[in-house]
Amino acid sequence: MCIKLRQTGKIIVPGQTAIIKTKRGDKASMWGFDNGMGIQANARIESLKEKWLKKGYAIGTFEIESFYEANHKERQEKEFKFSGEVGIIYKGEHFLVVTEEAGSQVKKIHHRQPCIRQLKLLLAA
């Protein structure tokens, strides 16, 4: 589970505001929303069309320097350096990080990661 992101040297966690890139330009938006059971911060790329895009969410990107994944069973947390854009969906003043199956290094900690490898596919949706 993506639990933290680093943007311009600042660590951002769900519930905090960050700058995202939308079709209309950059804007401040809060990471996650309260789904009644806590803050939901991520959305699987596999369920975007049938679950999120039908609800009016749009696709955008988020520029990061690194992301943090956690294995809560083993109480592990690890930072993965990545300088570039990850996929997000947004609606109103909130955004969710789109996740994909983890690459080999991240998989040692968690089975999902921010959408990096499938970003072009996501942006073409």
- Domains in the chain and their CATH numbers? 2-123 (3.90.1680.10)
What are all long-range contacts of 118-125, with beta carbons under 8 Å and residues at least 24 apart? Answer: 118/45, 118/87, 119/61, 119/85, 119/86, 119/87, 121/45, 122/45, 122/48, 122/59, 122/87, 122/98, 123/59, 123/61, 123/87, 125/48, 125/49, 125/53, 125/59
pLDDT: which is higher, 70 or 94: 94
Check pLDDT > 80 for residue 121. Answer: no
Give per-residue pLDDT as tens, 59-84: 999 999 999 988 877 788 899 998 89
Under the banding of pLDDT at 50, 70 and 90, the label for residue 124 is confident
The percentage of residues in the chain with a pLDDT greater than 90, rounded to a whole number, is: 53
Give per-residue pLDDT as tens, 13-33: 999 999 999 989 999 999 998
